[in-house]
Structure 1
Amino acid sequence: MNMTRALTLSVALSFCIVPAAIAMQKGAEVASREACAVQMVGGWVRMPPVAMPMMAGFGRIENACGDAVAVVGVRSDAFADVSLHETRIVDGVSRMRAVPRLAVPAGGSVELKPGGLHLMLMQPRGSLEPGDVVEVVLELEGGQTRAVELEVRAPTGR
């Protein structure tokens, strides 16, 4: 093979190999992001003791990723409105406030529990019974979303 042909073949192969390597790297990055996806463990909805237009959701939001994430919104087809709230005792009075951004540290978690951080689930769009499962979508800073499931439980939380 003469030098010109060898050089031409070498250049042609580099045009095939480099894009393939870049595509493989991008695929690995996407797979890595998916592998460390934010999830909710033990998610549940507490039914109110009497019929009410609101419920509360709880569970542990886990972030197995190497970077911190932030939940900046929540939605669900099962409810007219869903938001993050926090209950705090201020001057001996229980007060609730909206939480516009919930940071979840890299490799860490945040607990949503009665008397603290929770999901405010307003105006259910249908009847719910203990044992039902509802889907809630966590909206993450940067535009990603994660669908999670919450099990409906009796007012006692069981």
Structure 2
Amino acid sequence: MNNINKIMVAVAASVLAISAQAQVTVSDAWVRATVAQQKATGAFMQLKSAKDVRLLEVRSPVAGVAEIHKMEMADNMMKMRAVDSIDLPAGKAVELKPGAYHIMLMDLKAQVKDGDVVPVTLVVEGKDKKRETIEVKAIAKPLNQATQH
């Protein structure tokens, strides 16, 4: 095998190794656009993992604070609270959506306008305690379009 073929085989093996490590796929990522002076918004998406993992952390450069939140009915009132993590069972889609689990982006540094691309970083951890960072590009949508998602 000549050197070029060896290099091609090595590159192909690296690509396969990287693909095998990518446990979580993200689809339909979007952020609710804001109005001027609004300091918080939500980010939403669908997550699907090949292995059992947990979503542990979220970050975004557009916000001073990013947290995983859950909305649920309690005592006939809808309540929202921060949670430490979300389980992502192998092979099952988990939807982060309005009125359920979602990502809160707070202390926004600027208005999030319709069409903006908002970077969001997800940190997941497997049962083996290995962490993976996933970079997501979420599109900002106005409230009336976001509900038609």
TM interval, short-chain normalised: 0.7 to 0.9
**Which among 123, 135, 138 is matched to residue 150 of structure 1?**
138
In terms of mean alpha carbon deviation, does 113-122 or 123-132 score higher? 123-132
Q: Where does 1:109-120 land on structure 2 (aligned, <5 Å)?
A: 109-120=93-104
Identity value in percent: 30
SS at match of 1:144: strand
Per-residue deviation, residues 9-51 of structure 1 (Å, max 9, x unmatched): xxxxxxxxxxxxxx9xx958733524x4312211111124664
Aligned to 1:58: 44
Counterpart of 1:98? 82
Q: Which structure dedicates a bigger proportion of its chain to strand?
A: 2
2: CA distance, partners of 1:42 / 1:32: 20
Question: Could you say which residue in structure 1 is the equivalent of 2:70?
Answer: 86
Tell me, which stretches of 5 or more residues in structure 1 are unaligned? 1-22
- Structure 1 residues 27, 131: closer, same or farther in 2, change over 3 A? closer
TM-score w.r.t. the length of structure 1 is: 0.74
**CA distance in 2: counterparts of 1:50 and 1:128, whole angstroms:** 9
Deviations 1:107-147 (A, max 9, x none): 22210111111100112222321011111000112221000
Higher Rg of the two aligned structures: 1
Cα pair 2:35 2:112 within 8 Å, conserved:
no
**Structure 2 unmatched ranges of 5 or more:** 1-9
Q: Structure 2 matches for 1:7-156, cutoff 5 A?
A: 30-34=17-21, 36-48=22-34, 51-63=37-49, 65=50, 67-141=51-125, 142-156=130-144
Whole-angstrom distance in 1 between the partners of 2:93 and 2:16? 22
